[in-house]
Chains A and B, each alone.
Chain A
Amino acid sequence: MKALVTTIVEGLVDYPENVKVTETVGESIVILEISVAQEDIGKVIGKEGRIANAIRTVAKAAAAKQGKKITVEIMTQK
Chain B
Amino acid sequence: MEDKNKKKFFSFFKRAEKNYDTSEDVKQREFALSKKQNEDTRTTEESEDQDSTKYSPEIVSFCQEKMQQMLEASGISGSKIIAKNKQGKMYLEITNEKETGRIIGKDGAHLHAFQTIINAMAYKKYAQPIRLEIDANDYKYRKLESLKSNALRSAKYAQLNKTKVELEPMNAAERREIHMLFQDDQEIKSFSVGEGRERHIVIDALNES
Interface residues of A (CB under 8 A from B): 3-4, 7-8, 11-13, 43, 46, 50-51, 53-58, 61-62, 64-66
Question: Residues of B contacting A3 with CB < 8 Å?
Answer: 73
Pairwise interchain contact B121-A12, C-beta atoms closer than 8 A: yes
Q: Specify the main secondary structure of chain A where it touches its partner.
A: helix
B117 at interface, CB cutoff 8 A: yes
Question: Residues of B contacting A46 with CB < 8 Å?
Answer: 116, 120
The 7 closest A-B pairs by CB, nearest first: A57-B113, A4-B73, A62-B74, A54-B116, A54-B113, A11-B121, A65-B75
1/0 contact string of B147-183 vs chain A (CB within 8 Å): 0000000000000000000000000000000000000
Instruction: Kindly report which residue of chain A lies nearest to residue B69, judged by CB atoms.
Output: A7
B16 at interface, CB cutoff 8 A: no
Question: Residues of A contacting B73 with CB < 8 Å?
Answer: 3-4, 7, 62
Contact of A58 among B74, B121, B124, B125 (CB under 8 A): B74
A-B contact pairs, 9 of them (CB 8 A): A3-B73, A7-B70, A53-B113, A54-B116, A54-B117, A55-B113, A55-B117, A57-B105, A61-B113
